[in-house]
Amino acid sequence: MSFDDLNLIFPLQRALSDEGYTNPTPIQESSIPHLLSGKDMIGIAQTGTGKTASFILPILHNMSASKKRVRPKSPRVLVLAPTRELAAQIGDSFSTYGKYTRFKHTVVFGGVGQSPQVRALFKGVDSLVATPGRLLDLVDQGHVKLSDVEYFVLDEADRMLDMGFINDVYKVVALLPKERQSLFFSATMSPEISKLAKKMLTNPVTVEVTPQATTVERIDQFVFFVDSEDKNELILQLLRSKHLECVLIFTRTKHRANKVAQMLNKNRIPADAIHGNKSQTHRTKALQDFRSGHLRVLVATDIAARGIDIDDISHVINYDLPNISESYVHRIGRTARAGADGTAFSFCAADERDFLREIEKLIRMEIEVAEHEYHSDKAMNATGNDAKPAPRQQGGRPRGSSGHKRGQGRGKKGEAKDGKKPVRREKKNVKAKSPQSSGPSKGQNKQGGQSKQGGQSGPKGQGRNKTGRSPASGNKPQSRR
């Protein structure tokens, strides 16, 4: 199927042609016909699949059939996103695909002054992209009305739930007219998410591109069992010995993100951290520097990473394993975008062992164990209380100087704390293929190196500047099981 087969209005086809897109991605091919017919929809898809264009294109197409004029403070389209970065990128997509239409849009989120946002709303916009908190603030102040919304999109619903925005989402939905088209996107589908979808949607169709709770097939995944105090040395060794040119590192806490970025810069590895305590200006600059190649490494928390849409992240490193299993799927989905290969390295200390077990249960596979200089048998074989984060001390900070829950100190290699003989995974050498950059090479287009004349797949996020950059290379870590 090509975009011509979807019979979109000419201004949209022209915008797609400008971007070099001729063929829709699977999520676009499956969802756009349903949305053009006005149906509600549940879309289960990972990031990097082109889902943003899958709802923007049919919405702009359907709005073109109406001659309604824009009204002050009264948008016809509302898109809710969990983070500022994702909201801004959705706004950029409205600009890209709607540039030859008459429709106007604006983006509102917290962390910046609201005056420019209020002025844009007063002038009138067709489409509004917003984070829940800032939207409700503007509603309470009378700067925006939701009674005229015809199209409602909830993007990354699972992350909304994880971030505690669920009550705000319900408040927003209560302000919307009953007669509307509603679209619901999520990377995973938990019982809580299903409950939310039932309250929002009417007889929805379900489009699932990636099997539920599975990880992208093109990502090579490795776990590094390591003591907490050796994680810094391990990450420096990886960054020094392997050609990892575009690396996204995840931590569980803001404090840890700052510390890791500071440590890398001290060791002459250009890095920056983004998280909720950073200003929007800082976060925007850090993302720009990362895209352009001025930063080799970006360190992020789960919340701040939502909305990072960079095609050629070659490696994701989980410095800390997430305590929410679904977050692992979101994290490693930042690599292997636009049809490229990617690699995910996960560090696992003894007190994170149960997190790893839950992750492997969710993704229905056992992650390969990498051989490395700092390997910890204690971490690999941890069971019982040793495999759980230490409890918070009464009346004080959590264990560990950084405020992060940490486990006990080193034990003898290969000896479990309870004295039982450790259970080892079967060793296995893995000859993994060399990782490739997730973005197009210089002279290629945005879709895995296909030429614009050769039937490029549908629109996704903007790629990283490839000038002078080479794909990650070098040998993959040896592994054992």
Asked if 176 and 233 sit in the same domain, the reply is no
Residue 320 to residue 133: CA distance in whole angstroms: 28
Q: Are 313 and 342 in contact (CB under 8 A)?
A: yes
pLDDT of residue 280: 80
Residue matched to tokens 């490739």: 436
Residue 400 to residue 390: CA distance in whole angstroms: 10
Residue 79 to residue 59: CA distance in whole angstroms: 11
- CA separation, residue 329 to residues 120, 130, 314 (Å): 36, 24, 16
Asked if 327 and 416 sit in the same domain, the reply is yes
Average pLDDT on 336-365 reads: 87
Residue 311 to residue 457: CA distance in whole angstroms: 14
Q: Which of 208, 233, 262 is the last residue of a domain?
A: 208
Asked if 419 and 274 sit in the same domain, the reply is yes
Residue matched to tokens 């040119």: 245
Asked if 166 and 263 sit in the same domain, the reply is no
Asked if 402 and 464 sit in the same domain, the reply is yes
Tens of pLDDT, residues 201-241: 999 999 988 654 455 567 899 999 999 999 999 999 999 87
Q: Are 219 and 336 in contact (CB under 8 A)?
A: yes
pLDDT of residue 410: 36
Helix (H, G, I), strand (E, B) or coil at 386: helix
Tens of pLDDT, residues 73-100: 999 999 999 988 889 989 999 999 999 9
Beta strands in 32-180 (DSSP E): 41-44, 77-80, 105-108, 127-130, 151-154
Average pLDDT on 415-439 reads: 38
- The tokens describing 247, both together, are 């690396």
pLDDT of residue 340: 67
Q: Which of 157, 182, 208 is the last residue of a domain?
A: 208
Range of the domain at 322: 219-480
Q: Are 438 and 337 in contact (CB under 8 A)?
A: yes
Residue 5 to residue 385: CA distance in whole angstroms: 58
Residue 325 to residue 331: CA distance in whole angstroms: 10
Tens of pLDDT, residues 450-473: 433 344 555 654 444 433 333 333
Residue 308 to residue 305: CA distance in whole angstroms: 6
Helices and strands: H and E segment counts in the chain: 16, 15
pLDDT category at 338 given cuts 50, 70, 90 is: low
Candidates 359, 355, 380, 344; CA nearest to 227 is 380
Tens of pLDDT, residues 235-278: 999 998 767 888 999 999 999 999 999 999 999 999 999 988 88
Asked if 253 and 320 sit in the same domain, the reply is yes
Asked if 300 and 194 sit in the same domain, the reply is no
Measured at the CA of 252, the angle between CA 244 and CA 212, to 5 degrees, comes to 80
Q: What is the DSSP letter of 40?
A: -
Q: How many CA atoms lie within 13 A of 473 on its CB side?
A: 3
Highest mean pLDDT among 133-137, 339-343, 427-431 belongs to 133-137
Helix (H, G, I), strand (E, B) or coil at 473: strand
Residue 121 to residue 51: CA distance in whole angstroms: 26
Q: Is the pLDDT of residue 174 over 50?
A: yes
pLDDT category at 306 given cuts 50, 70, 90 is: low
Angle between helix 132-140 and 115-123 (nearest 10): 70
DSSP per residue over 9-66, as a string? -HHHHHHHHHHT--S--HHHHHHHHHHHTT--EEEE--TTSSHHHHHHHHHHHHHTT-
Q: Is the pLDDT of residue 307 over 90?
A: no
- Is residue 294 domain-resident? yes
Asked if 405 and 368 sit in the same domain, the reply is yes
CATH number at residue 472: 3.40.50.300
Residue 53 to residue 24: CA distance in whole angstroms: 9
pLDDT category at 481 given cuts 50, 70, 90 is: very low
Average pLDDT on 115-138 reads: 96
Candidates 157, 170, 196; CA nearest to 51 is 157
Q: Are 383 and 377 in contact (CB under 8 A)?
A: no
Q: Are 250 and 319 in contact (CB under 8 A)?
A: yes
- Is residue 214 domain-resident? no
- Is residue 377 domain-resident? yes
Q: Is the dihedral of CA 369, 375, 377, 379 positive or negative?
A: negative
Across the chain, mean pLDDT equals 80
Residue 198 to residue 203: CA distance in whole angstroms: 9
- Is residue 213 domain-resident? no
pLDDT of residue 335: 84
- Is residue 258 domain-resident? yes
DSSP per residue over 281-303, as a string? HHHHHHHHHHHHTS-SEEEE-HH
Tens of pLDDT, residues 357-388: 999 988 888 999 999 999 999 999 988 776 67
Asked if 467 and 399 sit in the same domain, the reply is yes
What backbone torsions phi and psi does residue 346 show, to the nearest 5 degrees? -125, 125
DSSP per residue over 65-96, as a string? T--PPPBTTB-SEEEE-SSHHHHHHHHHHHHH
Q: Is the pLDDT of residue 172 over 50?
A: yes
pTM score above 0.85:
no
Asked if 192 and 240 sit in the same domain, the reply is no
- For the chain, give the percent of residues with pLDDT over 70: 77
Helix (H, G, I), strand (E, B) or coil at 280: helix
pLDDT of residue 375: 95
| Higher pLDDT pick, 242 / 193 | 193
Q: Which of 181, 208, 235 is the last residue of a domain?
A: 208
Asked if 201 and 223 sit in the same domain, the reply is no
Q: Are 346 and 356 in contact (CB under 8 A)?
A: yes
Asked if 37 and 58 sit in the same domain, the reply is yes
| Higher pLDDT pick, 337 / 266 | 266
* Residue 203 identity: N
Residue matched to tokens 């709802």: 55
pLDDT of residue 8: 95
- The total of structural domains in the chain comes to 2
Helix (H, G, I), strand (E, B) or coil at 239: helix
